């Protein structure tokens, strides 16, 4: 994203909700935004990608419910751009498909504001696909037509026209996809029937598509309204009319995945969340990423700098987290420390994630405890040290006491040096708090005791007995128990073991 003195606006399509459907360019632009003006239809996982430093403005546009009128939104984009800001207008789906993106461009063009369009995946195609409905199929139809079901000002919900030529739609014999049409469902069904559509034509209402809560109601064009009234509708929703709707049961796939239909809140340090989220999403889960803790490198770390100059004097370097590994090697590079000084040093790591981070830097662990925690790491290291060895432990300022206690009593020189501080992210999480209370978020995954405390700091007061916590290690579980959460602990202190425990719970 270029550095502009005059500011610039990017109209970015956020897709239907699943962050996996957010485009690469969209994410790149969003990560560099200084101002983000977003709609209610932008997915929760995508909203969590908004940079911490960016000004986030919720204009809340959803069918028939607007926090800010369109004219004010247009003016806001111009105002922020004239302040010299990089402005992202984040819109659900695609900005040019019933997203009023063209209206927003009109004022930008008039005011001479630079802009770009970043297309998004439209719910008109993605939501049926996630429900197993191909909008075209050689045996059923050869065209698809996307129509807004949102009634215009001045039209009642009972108006047959809704500004739509129903007779032309029926003549196409193609699949019809109506967006924003829940409030007008009855009028749409009656309009198609009166235009001559077969009363037995399959039709479906697809609700909350591409999320763990997605559901579908499949009926016919003559019975869909009554069936929706019986079952109840939730927005956002897409109406699909056409013979392809009969394929939904046969072709459905999203909810059949190992974690399909399960919404999970994942807490980890900000820089480590996404890899675990990727594994969970590959199993079909909807993941809300909550960076509950933040790690900050300790600046001007004279104790560490002195240790780096004396690396050949150490027999062991002990890492207790992937973050500790990353910061250690960043500091080596920053101090221009020659990696050949590590030639005779051995490495001990607390677990698989830390080992993998070490391997990224071209080094392999010499010691990995059978149980991935500080106590067992210390005991394993004490067993292989005969005495008089010098050990460097670069780690968080609030370190695990059990590691140091396990090494005490041996004739060892231990330099336990803090390289980073851990602090809590304390943003208000009103939506997540509601979903934890009503069970929409089924489980919360914790990877450290500090992430439990960070989660509690962010969420604030609530009934923590409603939180189902899946934890790595006994210290993490103890922290969650302290808040009164329902807790389970993975067999091993690893992400793969944590996910295995989650799968066991879901399928119990």
β-bridge mates for residue 36, sequence order: 56, 88
Q: Are residue 66 and residue 98 in the same domain, yes or no?
A: yes
39 given a catalytic annotation: yes
Same domain, 313 and 378: yes
pLDDT bracket for residue 422 (50, 70, 90): confident
Place 66 in a pLDDT band, splitting at 50, 70 and 90: low
Mean pLDDT for 16-26 is: 93
Q: Which residues 6+ apart lie within 8 Å of 300 measured at CB?
A: none
- Predicted pLDDT of residue 425: 65
474 has a pLDDT exceeding 80: yes
- Average pLDDT of every residue of the chain: 88
- 69 and 100 share one domain: yes
Query: How is 121-166 classified by DSSP, letter by letter?
Result: --HHHHHHHHTT--S-BTTTBS-EEEEE-PPPTT--TT-S-TT--H
**Is residue 65 pLDDT above 60, yes or no?**
no
Mean pLDDT of 425-442: 80
Query: Is-above-0.85 flag for pTM?
Result: no
Q: For residue 290, is pLDDT > 90?
A: no
Q: Identify whether residues 315 and 231 lie together within a single domain.
A: no
pLDDT at 254 > cutoff 90:
yes
Predicted pLDDT at 437? 87
CATH code (residue 55): 3.40.1010.10
Model confidence pLDDT, tens digit, residues 109-119: 999 999 999 99
- pLDDT at 2 exceeding the cut of 60: no
Q: Are residues 178 and 75 in the same domain?
A: no
163 contacts: CB under 8 Å, gap ≥ 6? 151, 152, 155
> Are the CB atoms for 86 and 35 separated by under 8 Å?
yes
Alpha-carbon span 15 to 22, nearest angstrom = 6
Whether residues 129 and 225 share a domain: the answer is yes
pLDDT at 212: 93
Average pLDDT over residues 448-454: 85
Last residue of a domain, one of 422, 442, 477: 422
Query: What pLDDT, in 10s, does the model give residues 72-126?
Result: 999 999 999 999 999 999 999 999 998 788 889 999 999 999 999 999 999 999 9
Which of 101, 20, 5, 90 shows the shortest CA–CA distance to 55? 90
Marked catalytic residue, from 61, 91, 215, 263: 61
Same structural domain, 130 and 250: yes
379 given a catalytic annotation: no
Share of the chain above pLDDT 70, in %: 93
Of the candidates 18, 39, 94, 373, the residue annotated as catalytic is: 39
* pLDDT tens-digit map of 190-237: 999 999 999 999 999 999 999 999 999 999 999 999 999 999 998 899
Q: Identify the domain containing residue 231 by its residue range.
A: 125-255
2 domain-assigned: no
In a domain, 249, yes or no: yes
Instruction: Write 205-208 long-range contacts (CB < 8 A, 24+).
Output: 205/233, 205/237, 205/238, 205/239, 206/127, 206/128, 206/131, 206/133, 206/237, 206/238, 206/239, 206/240, 207/233, 207/234, 207/235, 207/236, 207/237, 208/17, 208/234, 208/235, 208/236, 208/237
Does residue 240 sit within a domain? yes
* 3 is a domain residue: no
User: In this structure, is residue 439 part of a structural domain?
Assistant: yes
Residue 313 within any structural domain of the chain: yes
How far apart CA 255 and CA 257 sit, in angstroms, is 6
Work out the average pLDDT over 243-255: 95
Rounded Cα distance, 185 and 180, in Å:
9
**Does 1 map to a domain?**
no
Q: Which one from 18, 85, 180, 346 is the annotated catalytic residue?
A: 180
Q: State the distance between the two ends of the chain, measured CA to CA, in whole angstroms.
A: 48
pLDDT for residue 331 is more than 50: yes
Grade residue 490 by pLDDT with cuts at 50, 70 and 90. very high
Find the angle CA(240)-CA(244)-CA(245) to the nearest 5 degrees.
55
Edge-to-edge order in the sheet of strand 316-319: 346-349, 316-319, 390-396, 413-424, 286-297, 263-269, 443-446, 468-471, 486-489
Please check whether residue 201 lies inside any domain of the structure: yes
Rounded CA-CA distance 133/243 in Å is 10
The residue from 120, 153, 170 where one domain ends is 120
- Token reading at 219: 């009926």
The reply to whether 412 and 497 lie within a common domain is no
Report pLDDT for 159: 45
Query: pLDDT at position 3, please?
Result: 47
Mean pLDDT to the nearest integer, 243-250: 96
Do 496 and 465 belong together in one domain?
yes
Whether residues 116 and 138 fall in one domain: no
In the β-sheet with 144-148, what is the strand arrangement from edge to edge?
Answer: 144-148, 175-179, 237-241, 202-207, 215-220
Domain boundary among 70, 86, 120: 120
Q: Give the total number of structural domains in the chain.
A: 4
Q: 144 and 247: one domain?
A: yes
Same domain, 319 and 415: yes
Q: What is the CATH number of the domain that holds 388?
A: 3.40.50.10090
Is a pLDDT exceeding 80 seen at residue 499? yes
pLDDT at 154: 47
pLDDT of residue 426: 59
> How, if at all, do strands 202-207 and 215-220 pair?
antiparallel
Among 154-163, 313-322, 449-458, top mean pLDDT goes to: 313-322
């Amino acid at each position: 994203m270029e550095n502009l003195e005059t500011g610039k606006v990017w109209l970015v399509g956020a897709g239907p909700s699943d962050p996996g459907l957010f485009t690469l360019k969209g994410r790149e632009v969003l990560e560099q935004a200084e101002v983000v003006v977003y709609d209610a239809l932008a997915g929760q996982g995508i909203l969590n990608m908004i940079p911490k430093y960016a000004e986030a403005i919720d204009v809340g546009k959803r069918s028939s419910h607007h926090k800010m009128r369109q004219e004010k939104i247009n003016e806001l984009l111009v105002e922020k751009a004239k302040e010299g800001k990089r402005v992202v207008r984040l819109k659900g789906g695609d900005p040019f498909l019933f997203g009023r993106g063209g209206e927003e461009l009109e004022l930008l063009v008039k005011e001479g504001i630079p802009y770009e369009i970043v297309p998004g995946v439209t719910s008109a195609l993605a939501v049926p696909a996630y429900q197993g409905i191909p909008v075209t199929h050689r045996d059923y139809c050869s065209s698809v037509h996307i129509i807004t079901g949102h009634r215009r000002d001045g039209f009642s919900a009972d108006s047959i026209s809704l500004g739509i030529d129903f007779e032309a739609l029926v003549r196409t014999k193609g699949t019809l996809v109506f967006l924003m049409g829940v409030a007008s469902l009855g009028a749409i069904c009656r309009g198609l029937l009166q235009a001559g559509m077969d009363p037995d034509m399959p039709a479906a209402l697809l609700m909350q598509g591409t999320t763990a809560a997605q559901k579908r109601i499949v009926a016919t064009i003559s019975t869909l309204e009554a069936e929706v009234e019986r079952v109840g509708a939730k927005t956002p929703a897409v109406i699909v009319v056409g013979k392809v709707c009969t394929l939904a049961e046969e072709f459905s796939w999203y909810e059949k995945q190992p974690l399909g239909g399960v919404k999970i809140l994942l807490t980890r340090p900000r820089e480590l969340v996404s890899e675990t989220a990727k594994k969970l999403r590959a199993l079909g889960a909807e993941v809300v990423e909550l960076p509950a803790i933040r790690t900050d490198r300790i600046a001007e770390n004279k104790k560490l700098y002195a240790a780096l100059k004396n690396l050949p004097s150490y027999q062991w370097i002990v890492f207790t987290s992937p973050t500790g590994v990353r910061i250690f090697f960043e500091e080596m590079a920053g101090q221009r420390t020659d990696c050949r000084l590590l030639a005779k040093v051995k490495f001990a790591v607390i677990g698989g994630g830390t080992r993998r981070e070490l391997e990224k830097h071209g080094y392999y662990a010499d010691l990995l405890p059978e149980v991935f925690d500080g106590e067992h790491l210390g005991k394993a290291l004490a067993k292989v040290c005969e005495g008089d060895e010098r050990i460097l432990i670069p780690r968080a300022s609030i370190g695990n006491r059990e590691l140091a206690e396990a090494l005490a009593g041996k004739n060892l020189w231990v330099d336990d040096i803090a390289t980073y501080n851990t602090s809590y992210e304390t943003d208000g999480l009103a939506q997540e708090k509601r979903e934890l209370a009503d069970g929409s978020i089924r489980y919360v995954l914790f990877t450290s005791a500090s992430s439990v405390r960070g989660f509690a700091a962010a969420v604030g007061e609530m009934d923590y007995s409603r939180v189902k916590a899946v934890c790595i290690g006994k210290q993490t579980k103890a922290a969650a128990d302290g808040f009164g959460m329902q807790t389970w602990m993975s067999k091993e202190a690893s992400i793969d073991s944590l996910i295995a425990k989650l799968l066991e719970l879901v399928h119990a």
